[in-house]
């Protein structure tokens, strides 16, 4: 998951505006090393070359560390920031991710209420309460269905699903608080209280609910409509690899 998020973050880079040339290379190197250390990056991840600052995180680097460095480098204004990417960087798009607020202190009571409401509105709180996000493990064909070739099922698919979901929920119950804390902690880190207030206000309105439902329907409907096309794309790709 972290690797996926890091890749998305890294793919968002193209370049940033050039900074004034008054900053000396020696000073830039010192500042780059300081940012590396404070953001928890490996030594040599940030380098100063001429009027450029190059960011080259390893593929397994934590996305929060990279996000921290990006924010610090932008504020430091050391020069033009360029990304030297991993294997996926050659297909990077020019889109830019909004920076996280990186709030380190605990949420105030008012912000905590906003965090809970935000999780409710986006549907995550219900998933945390019920453990429904684990359903993919219980569906027929999933990792909880150990069926050998030729073996005859002795239970219906519905009963088998219900049985496995009940086992998952029981196992999940003792870890429930950990998931809750993880999501609340990230939302607190990601957004300021003012941002959350605006987001919650929007999502609480009919247009906000339509936004969430419309986005879900778009993915569900288009995914269904293009399912055969995707299968064709995969077949063509596999055929080209065999040549």
Which pLDDT tens digits describe the chain residue by residue (243 residues)? Answer: 344 444 444 444 433 333 344 334 457 788 888 888 888 888 888 887 767 787 877 766 777 788 788 878 877 777 777 665 544 443 443 345 678 888 989 999 999 999 999 999 999 999 999 999 999 888 887 788 876 666 666 778 888 899 999 999 999 999 999 999 999 999 999 999 999 999 999 999 999 999 999 998 999 899 898 988 998 999 999 889 887
Contact 80, 15 (CB under 8 A): yes
The DSSP line for 77-135 is: T-SEEEE---TTGGG--S--PPPP----SPPPHHHHHHHHHHHHHTTHHHHHHH-GGGH
pLDDT, position 114: 97
Contact 71, 102 (CB under 8 A): yes
Q: Which of 31, 56, 28, 54 is nearest to 42 (CA)?
A: 56
Strand 52-55 relative to strand 46-49, pairing:
antiparallel
DSSP letter at 21 equals T
Give the span between the Cα atoms of 106 and 121, in whole angstroms.
22
Give the span between the Cα atoms of 15 and 240, in whole angstroms.
34
pLDDT, position 174: 94
pLDDT, position 147: 64
pLDDT, position 4: 43
Give the span between the Cα atoms of 224 and 240, in whole angstroms.
25
What token pair was written down for 114?
Answer: 């906003």
pLDDT, position 16: 36
Strand 80-83 relative to strand 52-55, pairing:
parallel
pLDDT, position 84: 58
pLDDT, position 20: 40
pTM above 0.75, yes or no: no
Q: Give the list of residues 6+ apart from residue 80 with CB closer than 8 angstroms, or none.
A: 15, 16, 17, 18, 19, 51, 52, 53
- Name residue 46's beta-bridge partners: 55
Phi, psi of 89 (to 5 degrees): -70, -25
3-state secondary structure of 139: coil
What token pair was written down for 72?
Answer: 């610090």
């Amino acid at each position: 998951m972290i690797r996926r998020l890091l890749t998305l973050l890294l793919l968002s880079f193209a370049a940033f505006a050039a900074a004034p040339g008054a900053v000396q290379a020696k000073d830039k190197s010192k500042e780059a090393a300081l940012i590396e250390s404070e953001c928890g990056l490996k030594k040599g991840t940030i380098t100063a070359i001429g009027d450029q600052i190059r960011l080259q995180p390893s593929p397994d680097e934590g996305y929060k560390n990279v996000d921290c460095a990006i924010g610090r480098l932008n504020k430091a204004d050391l020069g033009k920031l360029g990304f030297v990417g991993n294997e996926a960087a050659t297909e990077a798009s020019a889109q830019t991710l909004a920076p996280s607020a990186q709030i380190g202190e605990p949420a105030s009571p008012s912000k905590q209420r906003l965090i809970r409401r935000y999780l409710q509105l986006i549907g995550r709180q219900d998933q945390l309460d019920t453990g429904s996000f684990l359903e993919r493990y219980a569906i027929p064909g999933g990792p909880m269905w150990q069926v050998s070739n030729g073996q005859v099922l002795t239970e219906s698919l519905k009963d088998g699903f219900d049985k496995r979901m009940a086992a998952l929920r029981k196992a999940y119950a003792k870890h429930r608080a950990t998931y809750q804390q993880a999501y609340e902690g990230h939302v607190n880190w990601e957004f300021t209280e003012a941002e959350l207030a605006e987001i919650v206000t929007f999502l609480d309105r009919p247009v906000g609910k339509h936004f969430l439902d419309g986005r879900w329907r778009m993915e569900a409907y288009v995914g269904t409509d293009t399912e055969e096309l995707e299968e064709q794309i995969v077949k063509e790709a596999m055929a080209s690899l065999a040549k």
